[in-house]
């Protein structure tokens, strides 16, 4: 599952997941669609764009982790990168850990980081 309104980001992640052997990827652009899919599907991996202003991504991640406890749950945020202030970076990492996210990755996406985590699939 890829949760992001950014079409370019969804395409990039879908391609990277395909290279990792994941042939079916649900792309989610709104909260209602995500909730519907989470009620019907079991996932191996989920990507969540925390910077998405029009979705309740934190709640979606919490539900994803609860319903898919063995899945790789990856979150992305500009607040995880080196340009964010240390306090904001620390806070978003703490909150992601509390929700049960496997890893918090910086945005813009770094191919090396993505590769490291997708090797675990």
Q: What is the mean pLDDT of the chain?
A: 96
Is residue 40 within 8 Å of 76, Cβ to Cβ?
no
Measuring CA to CA, which residue among 4, 61, 43, 58 is closest to residue 27?
A: 4
pLDDT for 47 = 98
Q: What is the pLDDT of residues 46-72, one digit of tens each?
A: 999 999 999 999 999 999 999 999 999
What are the residues facing 74 on neighbouring strands?
47, 103
pLDDT tier at 28, thresholds 50, 70, 90: very high
Distance CA 6, CA 22 (A): 20
Domain count, the chain: 1
Three-class secondary structure of residue 23 per DSSP: coil
Alpha-carbon distance of 31 to 19, in angstroms, equals 27
Strands 27-28 and 2-3: parallel
Residues spanned by the domain of 19 = 2-118
Asked whether the predicted pLDDT for residue 121 surpasses 90, the reply is: no
pLDDT digits (tens, 9 = 90+) for 11-26: 999 999 999 999 999 9
Of the pLDDT bands very low, low, confident and very high (cuts 50, 70, 90), residue 73 is very high
**Cα-to-chain-centroid distance, residue 77:** 9
Residues 22-34: what's their mean pLDDT?
95
| 77-106 pLDDT per residue, tens | 999 998 899 999 999 999 999 999 999 999
Please report, for the domain that includes residue 70, its CATH number.
3.40.50.2300
Residue 118 pLDDT greater than 90, yes or no: yes
Could you identify the residue written with the tokens 């990755």? 105
Mean pLDDT, residues 29-41 taken together: 96
């Amino acid at each position: 599952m890829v949760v992001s309104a950014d079409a370019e980001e969804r395409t990039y992640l879908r391609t990277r997941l395909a290279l990792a052997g994941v042939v079916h990827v649900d792309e989610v652009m709104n909260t209602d669609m995500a909730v519907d899919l989470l009620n019907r599907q079991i996932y191996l991996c989920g990507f969540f764009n925390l910077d998405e202003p029009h979705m309740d991504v934190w709640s979606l991640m919490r539900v994803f982790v609860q319903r898919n406890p063995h899945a790789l749950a990856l979150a992305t945020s500009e607040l995880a990168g080196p340009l964010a202030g240390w306090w904001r970076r620390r806070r978003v990492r703490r909150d992601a850990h509390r929700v049960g996210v496997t890893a918090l990755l910086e945005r813009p996406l770094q191919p090396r980081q993505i590769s490291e985590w997708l090797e675990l699939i």
